[in-house]
Structure formats: C-alpha cells, structure tokens
Structure 1
Amino acid sequence: MPARVLVAYGTTNGSTARIAEAIADVLNKEGLAAEVLPAPAVTEVESYDAVVVGGGLYAGRWHKHARRFVRRHRRALAGRPLWLFSSGPLDASASERDIPPVPGVRRTMTRLDAKAHITFGGCLEEGAKGRIARMIVHNGKGGDFRDFAQIEAWAARIATELADQGA
C-alpha cells in the first residue's frame, strides 16, 4: 500500500490551494496516495504517513488556517514526516533565491521538527478578497508569481525522501 500523504493548506483567494494541488499531483504521480484538503476540513492526521502544510503569507504571518491547523494537530504532526510551505511574494524573488520562513513558521518548524520549508511566489489577481488585496491589484502590484516547475521539483524531492525512508 502506498504511503498516505496529507497536503493541507490555508488560503484566502485560492492561490495556495492551487500550489497544494500541484504538490499532491506530483506525489500521486510518484506512487504515493496524496490527499489535498483545506486545513479547516481536516479532522485528524493520524491516518497519514506524512503531512505537507502550506499557508499564504499576509503581513508577515502565515494564513490563520495553517496556523490553527498546526496548533490543533501538533501532537500527531510531531510524530510523522512534515514539510511546510508558504506562498506570498508578489514578485519573482521566490524563484530567484531561498526566502527564509517568517518567524511564526520558523517556530513551528522547530517545535514539530519539520523536514523542510520553502517559500513560493504568490498570486493576487482581479477579484481578490479583501480591501488591501484589491488595492494592491488596483495599484498594479498584483500578478501570478507562482513557479510551478519549482513547486513540482520540491514535491518530487518530498516523494524521493519518503521513498528513501520506506514510507
């Protein structure tokens, strides 16, 4: 039976959900059984062999649903392989260099002994929710900065690491 991997995410406008789906697609193609769920919909993590958690970044903080998820499931997460990702920069910087996790995510990594974290570019386009988001788009600072080749390569590394562990 293939290893079961949960990919949970917190998002406001759907950009992070699409990243989570891309990660799960790669994991499934690599022979794992990946399931994608919005973080608030996850009731348990014990049935999964590994977990990937992602959240959009807003004003230097991880999305509230991602924060609540890791807090609510901290005991179970501490006992299994865990990877974290963030999405947010509205420029090409995440594709050009490694962006360290924001302080709250760094603390989560330490507390839960996460294997790795990566920051991907974000996406903010017309129709975005929230006054500030709409203002950013209106001022021409929005766009789609997600690098799906980078996302897929990171997911493939997770699959390889899980295969090497015999998960």
Structure 2
Amino acid sequence: MPASVLVAYGTTNGSTAQIAEAVAEVLRKGGLIPDLLPARSVVDVTPYDAVVLGSGLYAGRWHRDARRFVSRHGRQLAERPLWLFSSGPLDSSASERDIPPVRGVRRTMVRLGARSHVTFGGCLEEGAKGRIAQSIVRNGKGGDFRDFGAIEDWAARIAAELAAAQQKK
C-alpha cells in the first residue's frame, strides 16, 4: 500500500501554499498518497506515514501556524519521517547556495529528528497582505524567486526515499 504523506504549510499570502502544492503533486506522481492542508487545520497526524511541513519566513521566524503545528503535534512528528522547508529570500540566493535553517527551525529539526530542511526562494507580489509586505513590494524589493525545478527535485527525493522504505516493509 502506498505511503500516506501529510503536506502541511503555514503562509500569509499563499506563496508557500503553492510550493506545498508542487511538493504534493510530485509525491502523487511518485505513487504516494499526499494530503495537502494548511497547518492550522490539521487535527491529527497519526494517520500519516510521513509529514512534509513548510512555512514562509517572516522576520527570521516561521509562520505562527507552522510553529503551533510543531507544538501541537511534536510527539507524533518525532515518530515518523519528517521533512521541512522554508520559503523566504526575496532574491536569487536560495537558488545559488544552500541556506541553512533559521535558529528556531534548526532546533525543531534536532528535536524531532527531521530528515532534511531546504530553504526555497520566496514570492511577494502586488496585493500582499500586511503593512511590511506592502512596503517591500512598493519599494521594488518584491518578486517571485521560487525555483519550481528545485522544489520538484527535492520532493522527488522524498518520494524515492519513501517508496524505497515501503518496498522494505
């Protein structure tokens, strides 16, 4: 039976949700059964064989919904394969080099035994919510810096790892 994977995310303007959608689609194509949900709406992670959790970065921290998700479900997350991603840099830096997780995410990785973390470029465009986000866009610092090829490659590695683990069962 294919592995069921929760792909949860915390986002304000929807950019991270689109990354999570791309991850879920690659997992589906890899023969897995992904559920894509906002982190705030997840009630229970125990039905899932694995979890992918992502969040936008806001002033060097994960979105509140992702942080609360980790707090609510930490024990269960530590009992299953877990991958983390962040979305944030509003430049090409995430495509040019590996950006380590911010301090709070690094602590979460260690505490929960996450398999890996990756930081993808962010997206902030006209119509963004929040005074700071609107100011960033107004000052010409916004844009879409997501690399969907890199996102799909990362998700394909997760799918391959989970498929290999299922074959061993």
Superposition TM-score, scaled by structure 2 size: 0.98
Counterpart in the other structure of 1:37 = 37
Q: In the comparison of the two structures, how many residue pairs are matched? A: 167
Instruction: After TM superposition, give the deviation of residue 126 of structure 1 in Å.
Output: 0.2
CA distance in 2 between partners of 1:157 and 1:2 (Å): 16
Q: How does 1:27-106 map to 2 (within 5 A)?
A: 27-106=27-106
CA distance in 2 between partners of 1:30 and 1:161 (Å): 10
Structure 1 letter corresponding to 2:36: V
* Contact 2:49 2:80 survives alignment (8 Å): yes
1:133 paired to 2:153? no
Counterpart in the other structure of 1:26 = 26
SS at match of 1:28: helix
SS at match of 1:46: coil
Instruction: After TM superposition, give the deviation of residue 133 of structure 1 in Å.
Output: 0.2
Q: Deviations over 1:118-146 (max 9, x none)?
A: 00000000000000000000000000000
Counterpart in the other structure of 2:143 = 143
CA RMSD, 1 decimal: 0.7
1:122 paired to 2:126? no
Structure 2 letter corresponding to 1:25: E
1:16 paired to 2:16? yes
Instruction: After TM superposition, give the deviation of residue 164 of structure 1 in Å.
Output: 1.6
- Stretches of structure 1 that go unaligned for 5 or more consecutive residues are none
Superposition TM-score, scaled by structure 1 size: 0.99
In the TM superposition, structure 1's runs of 4+ consecutive aligned residues that sit over 4 Å from their partners are none
* Contact 2:2 2:166 survives alignment (8 Å): no
* Contact 2:5 2:52 survives alignment (8 Å): yes
CA distance in 1 between partners of 2:26 and 2:151 (Å): 9
Instruction: After TM superposition, give the deviation of residue 165 of structure 1 in Å.
Output: 1.4
SS at match of 1:106: helix
Q: Deviations over 1:70-89 (max 9, x none)?
A: 11000110100000000000
